[in-house]
Amino acid sequence: MWCQLHTIIRCRPAVGIVAILMVFVAITTTIFFADTVNAESTKSQVLGFQGRLLDSDGANVPDGHYNVEFKIYQGGKGSKSHNPSGQLVWKESYRNTGDSQGVNVTKGRFSVNLGSQNPLTDVNWSSGTLWLSLNIAGSSANCSSFGATGCQSDGEMLPMTRITSTPHALDSSRLDGKSSSDYVQLGQGVQTDDSDSSSIHINKTGSGDLLQLQKDSLDVMTVSGEGDITLGSNKSSQTISIAKASGGTKGGNLAISAGDGSSGGNLTLKGGQGANGAEGLVVIDTPTFSATTDDESCFAGGVLVASSCTFSSSSLNNSAVLMAGFSAPDQTATLPDPILKTAGRLMYVTAAGDSQPFSLQINQARASQRLVQMEGNDTVSLLWNGRDWTVAGQAIKSATPSTDTESDTTDNQTNVQTDNQADQTVDASGSEPDTAPIGSLYYDTKLGELRCYESEGWGPCANAPDEFVSLSPEYSNAVVRQTGIGEMTTDTCSDSLHINDGTVGQDAVCGEDETYNYYNWSTEEFTPQARSIFVTYKLSDDFDKFVAKSTSLMAMTDSDEAGVSYQIYRKHDGGKLTACGEPVETTIGSNNAWSKLSPEETDDPSECDFQAGDSIVFEISMTASDNANAYISDLDFVIHNK
């Protein structure tokens, strides 16, 4: 029953009145609920509710603003006040505070939007049973809270009204009690997941695929129930990559690894199976495997070049097979150091089939510098150890024995070869073997000496045919000409030892992985000041010639007010000097990096008619002004002896 103790409603059993009221409530709730719920979770959700208040005689209560409290319980029976076996999940109060507040009742009828004051977000509309209760506390204008003085309530109307299935339209923005933000959105912008569980968790119990993505009805990616990934559908190629890094930033690594266990799992890369039985190759598109058929400097457009060259940086740093070829003999192809200095790089250099013999120069201007002799169709494999190129393998050519079959026991020559071929007997009256592997040797009984096969052919084994000369500051027997006003110093820079490498306020003379001895010329004068260094090197009696393009000077300048050049002279016939071409300008301007330059054509000592016993003289000129700095370091050249 319900009654109003302190209002015009008299206290009496109200079973009939309650029945009338509840029937009306059930009808109006069903009608108005669907009309007032909006499926968009971003808008306010309210429940339209209408009813009729009657007094104990069945007449409409007087018009006015009434104090009414609504509650929703989850579970229980709804037959007792406070629904003891249920849980209160929502409450909303309408109180008359003297300014036309509370629930407006006209001719006994009222209408409210439940949830307009306290949102219904905590109500789980998918639960089994929900009860709606009403509590009326008259129309006093001094209702501060239900149950307080002036606002004594009748208590909850019993039995409570069960919210029927139609009001579940309020759950139209939720699935199984979850809002749309709990589900993955497609094409709806960023989906935020702040939970500690997996963002996507699928437990596949059937036989189908876990994932199938398509574009224009063609598969783009599928993940089978066993986790196998397939990219594309009858497409020519697919890519898995790390996003590009911004300029100046190191790119990200892509790691693919097999499983761990008592023994590690295998990682298998396999090409596709062709219909004719041929499998696709595994091609690793890195500088280690991507091939170049012709270098733009040493085999331009697949055509032989006439003079010495240096392999281009683009070919070296993006290829594994470099081809070179020369139309003239005795040229040099120089292989620079790679930009990527990680150890393990493998490089192949191949001579064009119709190339004249030439020298492959590696590790230029370092103690590890060497020349590898090559001719048509030769291939040499080079391994980068992190600092130098090392020869990993070279084509082997068999020695050609003499066709003279006459025996001469006194003048025979025993041929010993490095490729473990059988010893051969060569008649002394016949010619030497035309060709042999580098390092082959034989004993010439006529000359009474061992003969070795080197880059220029057969020669005495006692003297190395190729002599590498590297002079580092302070140059031996160097003479400094005191001309300009300034200061000449010698020093060492080393990145490894942190000496003059730009750290902690030091001069930035050495860069990464660099170590040099050097001369430094500087001046405070505002006009150019010069200082020259003269270096003389005596050639041996076994001297044959200078190797072309092997001469160089390492230099650096840090300002437009500084420069370095050098002039080569031939000293012969008791002290006479002959200039070899023109001065070679090594560096000028603000470079801040060590560079070297070999002489060209007539400036090269190989073109200057040097003879055994001559001396080569270098005049190194350093200019500076206004506190600029000129630096010089190693002076290098290669001599071929007889």
Per-residue pLDDT averaged across 305-324, rounded? 87
**Tokens standing for 113?**
């939007």
The architecture (CATH level 2) of 468-641 comes to Sandwich (2.60)
Rounded CA-CA distance 542/534 in Å is 24
H or E stretch including 493? strand 487-494
Tell me the average pLDDT of the chain.
79
Model pLDDT for residues 322-376, shown as the tens digit of each residue: 899 999 998 999 999 988 788 888 888 999 999 999 999 999 878 788 889 999 9
Rounded CA-CA distance 481/535 in Å is 11
User: Considering the entire predicted model, what is its pTM?
Assistant: 0.37
The lowest-confidence range among 192-206, 392-406, 618-632 is 392-406
The lowest-confidence range among 36-40, 365-369, 530-534 is 36-40
- Mark 545-570 as b/e (b = at least 16 C-beta within 10 Å): bbbbbbbbbbbbbbbebbbbbbbbbb
H or E stretch including 316? helix 313-318
Does residue 71 contact residue 205 with C-beta atoms inside 8 Å? no
Rounded CA-CA distance 395/377 in Å is 9
Question: By three-state DSSP, how is residue 419 classified?
Answer: coil
Question: By three-state DSSP, how is residue 18 classified?
Answer: helix
H or E stretch including 417? none
H or E stretch including 425? strand 424-427
Residues 6+ apart with CB under 8 A from 540: 612, 613, 641
The architecture (CATH level 2) of 15-175 comes to Sandwich (2.60)
What fold is seen in the domain 300-394? Jelly Rolls (2.60.120)
Domain residues of the chain, as ranges?
15-175, 300-394, 412-462, 468-641
Beta bridge partners of residue 105, listed in sequence order: 64
C-alpha closest to that of 125 among 37, 49, 43, 28: 37
Q: Does 468-641 match 15-175 at the fold level?
A: no
Model pLDDT for residues 183-195, shown as the tens digit of each residue: 666 666 777 888 8
pLDDT at 340: 79
C-alpha closest to that of 333 among 371, 376, 282, 369: 371
Q: How confident is the model at residue 278 (pLDDT cuts 50, 70, 90)?
A: low
Beta-strand ranges (E) seen in 511-583 are 515-522, 529-538, 543-546, 552-572, 576-579
